[in-house]
Amino acid sequence: MTSRTEHDALGEVQVPADRLWGAQTQRSRDNFRIGVGREPMPPEIIAAFGILKQAAARANRALLPEKMSEKKAALLEQAAEEVRSGKLAEEFPLVVWQTGSGTQTNMNVNEVLANRVNALAGKTLCHPNDDVNMSQSSNDTFPTALHIAAVTALEDQLIPAVREMAEVLLTLERENEGIVKSGRTHLQDAVPIAFSQEISGWRASLERDLELLRLSLPPLYGLALGGTAVGTGLNAPAGFAERAAEEIAALTGKPFVSEENKFHALTSLDELVFAHGAVKALAADMMKIANDVRWLASGPRCGLGEITIPANEPGSSIMPGKVNPTQCEQVTMVAVQVMGNDAAVGIAASQGNFELNVFLPVVAYNFLQSVRLTAESIRSFTEHCACGIRPVREKMRQNLAASLMTVTALNPHIGYENAARAAQLAHAENLSLKDACVKLGLLTPERFDELFHPEKMI
């Protein structure tokens, strides 16, 4: 492999000749051989850097025209758009496990953009620190990129996926009105419930999760850009923070604003903790829904068997004909991953020291993984499972008829203790509730039939 000589403040470095990155990127590649090829900086962060570098070039052109020439700004915007679009994806090889401020990733972006601008210009026009990083610091650009990426992932990936599943559940709810089945609490038989009511619980959980996700967005709209190294805005012109935020809002179509207190913006990750908590709440609800579905579909002959779900693939390498609830299983595994990620995000956010939090890359990695996995998991579950849920009416009817907890309807007529006696006798002697009530002398057969209507208990 041929190389070229690049230099930085520490001296010369050999860089692959066919790459746009420079000395600081190469040093990071050499010094952090941790998870290489498996745990790169999330592409969402790189795309967000492309956006903020475009915005910074525009703001600097307006505020520092003597330093940011029209040609330089135009070429920087062009190169930054290539970064944003993913066209230069192979130029960003750095891993998550690097400096905790994300400095090497910021410099990776700076170096790639500078070299790309110089290639477009056909001469040395742009410097990674003096031009691409003008009015900025890694300490304010990385949290800014993180907020841009987080908002984009939540609004464009996760929220639509949840909304689509809620709509499918609403359709199922309407299609299954009038079907009465046994309810269950503590994994034990309980009083009857309509199947549509059970589905409505799933739907309402997702709708509440949507509310929580949307509540988490406004705090994430605040951006650290303009705080530079420690929050004072050193080396950034007056008005840069506000102008850059306006440009980011224009580029993304999202209501980003300059965070009022940059000292908070550089050292606190509370907005991300809050937002990830909403993602975790969604994961918890998805765990519950998936477990309900696989329990209700258990069988086909030795389980509850009250619903059928799509048979997507063979379930066993040894047992012919076996089909497993694999979509439910992927949902529950993703939920566990998200819950683990939430612990990592929370611990990392607690570790801000003085004017900076140096756990930013691991927060970015875990937060964006949670959002991406949850969105993809929900879409998969919706398409390959939820859309195909169907009731097994006869099994529901049989289970309802066999349930002893329908005796609850008799409480107002024979009292709680007599109803309990009837249920216990029916269970002990394998009798129907009617026979048990008659045997105990609590009701005549005619009176029992008059009072006992499980379908009206919902």
pLDDT at 455: 87
Asked whether residue 16 carries a pLDDT value surpassing 90, the answer given is yes
Q: What percent of the chain has pLDDT over 90?
A: 97
Asked whether residue 124 carries a pLDDT value surpassing 90, the answer given is yes
Predicted confidence band at 13 (pLDDT cuts at 50, 70, 90)? very high
Q: Do the two domains 149-183+193-219+254-394 and 404-456 of this chain adopt the same fold?
A: no
- Strand partners of residue 248: none
Q: What number does CATH give the domain 149-183+193-219+254-394?
A: 1.20.200.10
Task: Name the catalytic one among 316, 350, 432, 453.
Answer: 316
Rounded-to-integer distance, Cα 294 and Cα 173, Å: 18
For range 217-228, the mean pLDDT: 98
State the residue for tokens 């419930």: 193
Enter the tokens of residue 354. Answer: 């003085």
127 annotated active-site:
no
Q: Mean pLDDT in the chain?
A: 97
State the residue for tokens 């975790």: 280
Q: What percent of the chain has pLDDT over 70?
A: 100
Closest CA to 15 of 421, 115, 27: 27
pLDDT at 1: 79
186 annotated active-site:
yes
- Domain 404-456 architecture: Orthogonal Bundle (1.10)
Contact status, residue 419 vs residue 410, Cβ threshold 8 Å: yes
The model's pLDDT over 365-414, given as tens digits with 9 standing for 90+, comes to: 999 999 999 999 999 999 999 999 999 999 999 999 999 999 999 999 99
State the residue for tokens 């900086």: 41
The model's pLDDT over 158-198, given as tens digits with 9 standing for 90+, comes to: 999 999 999 999 999 999 999 999 999 999 999 999 999 99
Q: What number does CATH give the domain 3-134?
A: 1.10.275.10
Cis peptide bond prior to 237, omega within 30° of 0: no
Q: Where are the alpha helices (DSSP H) in 268-359?
A: 270-296, 326-349
State the residue for tokens 């994806």: 89
pLDDT at 447: 95
The model's pLDDT over 60-79, given as tens digits with 9 standing for 90+, comes to: 999 999 999 999 999 999 99
The model's pLDDT over 402-455, given as tens digits with 9 standing for 90+, comes to: 999 999 999 999 999 999 999 999 999 999 999 999 999 999 999 999 999 988
Asked whether residue 102 carries a pLDDT value surpassing 90, the answer given is yes
The model's pLDDT over 331-347, given as tens digits with 9 standing for 90+, comes to: 999 999 999 999 999 99
pLDDT at 448: 94
pLDDT at 33: 96
Annotated domain spans of the chain: 3-134, 149-183+193-219+254-394, 404-456
Rounded-to-integer distance, Cα 298 and Cα 305, Å: 5
Rg over CA atoms, the chain: 30
